[in-house]
Structure 1
């Protein structure tokens, strides 16, 4: 008797903007959401450390094709730096490597903020997923190897002090792709001559999503229908699916090309269509085509025509 194939999940597509709790890894969160939705495919846009909480956008189904656009989005973090101690992981998880009795005043902290705004050079933490010679930096660091990671340019739009006391400072930062908040804590601590590490970290936003899109694991668990093992009863996922954000939202950064039903069908078959509408782009290297808010394709606008490059089926 032949072995039965693995059951496929539902072809649900869209974004689940998870409010990830502290202690849960990003891979674990994706697996949990995939199971809760009984989805056939899932992935995330930007790792969030287990010690961090907050926004982890998780793509389901066809939305996984739009992950790079969300990963490029601006991010907002709220974080606390505890002064007086630098750790090898630059957060609470590591061991102390430097100590100081010095504690900065709020004025002293304010005085260095300008050095961390704009395009800056930053060295990622040694305990990071950066690849060095094909190996993850954190794997090399855990094996006791000396890890040298080259500096990279990152962009920080805003860095504000939210609260300051004798031993710590709470900040909010708005930054671009590739910015390590742990490196900010490390570098500010060194510049201030007191050392520092991240003690709390929460991601508040990943463009184009906001905290209004948040959903918790508990909310999803409460909404999940009972699934029969014998597959006789068809579970109703309508409540759960109400938490899914349309795939097209991830492409708000691109010029938008609205299509009629007829034009959408042509595009789904890989054919170009004439771009119509007063606000439609004339030329664009990359654009997003939709019909009634539903994503149809990503493509280019050339010579007054939308030419599909990647078509979406759901």
Structure 2
């Protein structure tokens, strides 16, 4: 019987908050970071289109187990809508399908925004990762097919007009999971009777990571010039955030090393003290500031559901 293959790379864990450049795909960015850090595993929390820049949180190693918690977080985008053209992809990459000489006034734009605040119904773009009959919508669109993508509810927490010019307008939006900013631009243009598409898009925030945490890709690539491997990897590791940073919104309990050992063996631990949480569907156990497990609290016990090395 053959031995299981040992994973290639380092068993490191943590989050890198990448400032992704334009013309660089999310999958390409993850591959580059995984290679730079010589990590065994890597994944991202929320795709950014190649034409978009900004925050792309990348999880390395055990931190990939916390990706769903970041995917569910709020996001903030700054985006530019150019008026007068609707495109197949709802951004600069697509072919022009509709044109108009009409241009909206600032007053017309401002009057429209309340319609796009709160829980709204939105149809994702034809060029999106939505699955239709088992296939990605963008694959069908590239083959020339027009598919019916069902609408879905998304939540817009805040939508602000930053500046209005004759041929374009600049916005900022704070939104929930699954929101397509390209769809906002398309629908703005249709409602205003002038058509529109995204001509600039930057993500500045993905909860719980702040904009100040972003690291430009060029800054990381520049470290390739360090010839000493250990020195180079240490310089890269300095940019990593603790795995637990992705879980800051969950209740936290502090435990001893002995309790951490019990949890890592898959056993529950008893919580004592008058300040101990009573019932929590999800909570985080930390030992010495390091993430041990995500679990549930009930009947005076912490029961692990997902354990970290």
TM range (shorter): over 0.9
The one-character-per-residue Cα deviations of 1:119-172 (angstroms, maximum 9, x if unpaired) are 000000001010000011011111111211000000000000111111111000
The one-character-per-residue Cα deviations of 1:66-104 (angstroms, maximum 9, x if unpaired) are 011100000000000001111010000011111111101
Given that 1:257 and 1:275 are in contact with CA atoms closer than 8 Å, whether structure 2 keeps it comes out as: no
Given that 1:43 and 1:58 are in contact with CA atoms closer than 8 Å, whether structure 2 keeps it comes out as: yes
Given that 1:37 and 1:224 are in contact with CA atoms closer than 8 Å, whether structure 2 keeps it comes out as: no
Q: Alpha-carbon deviation of 1:237?
A: 2.1
The one-character-per-residue Cα deviations of 1:44-65 (angstroms, maximum 9, x if unpaired) are 1111000000000000000000
Match of 1:37 in 2: 37
Where does 1:136-147 land on structure 2 (aligned, <5 Å)? Answer: 136-147=136-147
What is the DSSP-based 3-state SS (H/G/I as helix, E as strand, rest coil) of the residue aligned with 1:189?
helix
What is the DSSP-based 3-state SS (H/G/I as helix, E as strand, rest coil) of the residue aligned with 1:103?
coil
Match of 2:279 in 1: 283
Counterpart-to-counterpart distance in 2, 1:282 and 1:12: 33
Counterpart-to-counterpart distance in 1, 2:155 and 2:8: 41
Match of 1:303 among 299, 302, 305: 299
Where does 1:117-128 land on structure 2 (aligned, <5 Å)? Answer: 117-128=117-128
Pair 224,272 (structure 1): closer, same or farther in 2 beyond 3 Å? farther
Match of 1:245 in 2: 241
Match of 2:196 in 1: 196
TM-score by length of 2: 0.95
Counterpart-to-counterpart distance in 2, 1:263 and 1:48: 40
Match of 2:257 among 243, 261, 269: 261
Match of 1:97 in 2: 97
Counterpart-to-counterpart distance in 2, 1:182 and 1:278: 50
Query: What is the root-mean-square deviation in Å for CA atoms of aligned residues?
Result: 1.6
Counterpart-to-counterpart distance in 2, 1:137 and 1:11: 35
Q: 5+ residue gaps in structure 1?
A: none
Counterpart-to-counterpart distance in 1, 2:57 and 2:230: 28
Pair 225,41 (structure 1): closer, same or farther in 2 beyond 3 Å? farther
Once the two structures are overlaid, the 10-residue window that deviates more, 282-291 or 49-58, is 282-291
Q: Alpha-carbon deviation of 1:253?
A: 1.9
Pair 85,31 (structure 1): closer, same or farther in 2 beyond 3 Å? same
Q: Alpha-carbon deviation of 1:199?
A: 0.2
Counterpart-to-counterpart distance in 2, 1:92 and 1:236: 38
Given that 2:7 and 2:40 are in contact with CA atoms closer than 8 Å, whether structure 1 keeps it comes out as: no
Match of 1:179 in 2: 179
Counterpart-to-counterpart distance in 1, 2:290 and 2:6: 30
TM-score by length of 1: 0.93
Match of 1:18 in 2: 18
Once the two structures are overlaid, the 10-residue window that deviates more, 257-266 or 154-163, is 257-266
Pair 278,9 (structure 1): closer, same or farther in 2 beyond 3 Å? farther
Match of 2:8 in 1: 8
Counterpart-to-counterpart distance in 2, 1:77 and 1:193: 24
Q: Alpha-carbon deviation of 1:287?
A: 1.0
